[in-house]
């Protein structure tokens, strides 16, 4: 192979990871400070110290940029390892939900996006497809393990169970703005187990 054939491509074909990291940070900062409604590609580019073309090579719109950045950070936070018991898995899951909602930037961004999604159907659909559904599938893994271990019934209303994992923590921290203490998470776990187990 010649040197010419081995040369790294230039221009739009190269998406430098360090540049992408700087842009992701800029997106998060802009969303946390100003919200989705005031977010602009210009402001993100300025904050990241790049030209707008660097953004448009990665995302065609602010909606796609926002959903990609928020979901790439939020979805992995829902992954809960197998603790060996339904109780352990449920406790780990509600704690993971709290970590997500209490994150210094993501928590504020998520509340803003939930409000914005009520007015913006395209954003709502994108958030469901790229953030909500993937996080729920990770929650389903907890239910699948419980079912395989014989700890939950096959007749369980899975949709309701998945809603109940997140809803109390979201309501307490995001709406009521009350701390979810370890004791609260323990009590929530016990309440969920009573609903989940036959």
pLDDT, average across residues 52-81: 95
Pairwise CA distance, residues 101 & 170, whole Å: 7
Q: What is the CATH number of the domain that holds 21?
A: 1.10.10.60
Residue 100 shares a structural domain with residue 169 = yes
Here the tokens at position 66 are 């926002």
Whether residue 76 lies inside any domain: the answer is yes
Per-residue pLDDT reduced to its tens digit, 4-33: 444 444 444 455 667 789 999 999 999 999
Q: What is the CATH number of the domain that holds 112?
A: 1.10.357.10
Residue 54 shares a structural domain with residue 130 = no
Query: Which whole-number Å values give the CA distances from 1 to 5, 6, 14, in the listed order?
Result: 6, 7, 21
Whether residue 1 lies inside any domain: the answer is no
Pairwise CA distance, residues 131 & 28, whole Å: 16
State which residues form the domain around 38. 14-58
Whether residue 23 lies inside any domain: the answer is yes
Residue 173 shares a structural domain with residue 98 = yes
Helix ranges (H only) for the chain are 3-6, 17-34, 41-48, 52-56, 62-74, 86-101, 106-119, 121-127, 133-148, 158-170, 182-196
Pairwise CA distance, residues 168 & 189, whole Å: 11
Here the tokens at position 184 are 């609260």
Per-residue pLDDT reduced to its tens digit, 138-173: 999 999 999 999 999 999 999 999 999 999 999 999
Pairwise CA distance, residues 189 & 86, whole Å: 10
pLDDT, average across residues 172-176: 94
Pairwise CA distance, residues 78 & 139, whole Å: 7
Q: Report which of 136, 14, 125 is spatially closest to residue 67, judged by C-alpha positions.
A: 125
Residue 95 shares a structural domain with residue 186 = yes
Query: Which whole-number Å values give the CA distances from 77 to 73, 103, 105, 110, in the listed order?
Result: 7, 10, 14, 14
pLDDT, average across residues 171-176: 94
Per-residue pLDDT reduced to its tens digit, 90-148: 999 999 999 999 999 999 999 999 999 999 999 999 999 999 999 999 999 999 999 99
Q: Report which of 109, 130, 105, 96 is spatially closest to residue 37, judged by C-alpha positions.
A: 109
Whether residue 87 lies inside any domain: the answer is yes
């Amino acid at each position: 192979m010649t040197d010419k054939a081995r040369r790294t491509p230039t221009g739009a074909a190269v998406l430098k990871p360090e540049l992408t990291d700087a842009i992701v940070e800029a997106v998060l900062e802009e969303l946390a400070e100003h919200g989705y409604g005031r977010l602009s590609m210009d402001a993100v580019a300025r904050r990241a110290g790049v030209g707008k073309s660097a953004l448009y090579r990665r995302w065609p719109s602010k909606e796609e940029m926002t959903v990609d950045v928020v979901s790439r950070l939020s979805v992995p936070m829902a992954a809960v390892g197998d603790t060996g018991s339904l109780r352990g898995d449920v406790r780990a899951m509600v704690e993971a939900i709290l970590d997500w909602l209490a994150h210094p930037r993501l928590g504020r961004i998520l509340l803003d996006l939930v409000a914005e999604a009520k007015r913006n159907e395209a954003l709502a659909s994108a958030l469901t497809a790229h953030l909500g559904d993937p996080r729920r599938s990770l929650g389903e893994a907890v239910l699948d393990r419980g079912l395989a271990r014989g700890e939950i019934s096959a007749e369980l209303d899975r949709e309701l169970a998945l809603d109940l994992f997140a809803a109390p923590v979201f309501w307490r921290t995001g709406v009521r703005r009350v701390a979810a203490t370890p004791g609260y998470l323990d009590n929530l776990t016990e309440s969920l187990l009573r609903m989940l187990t036959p």
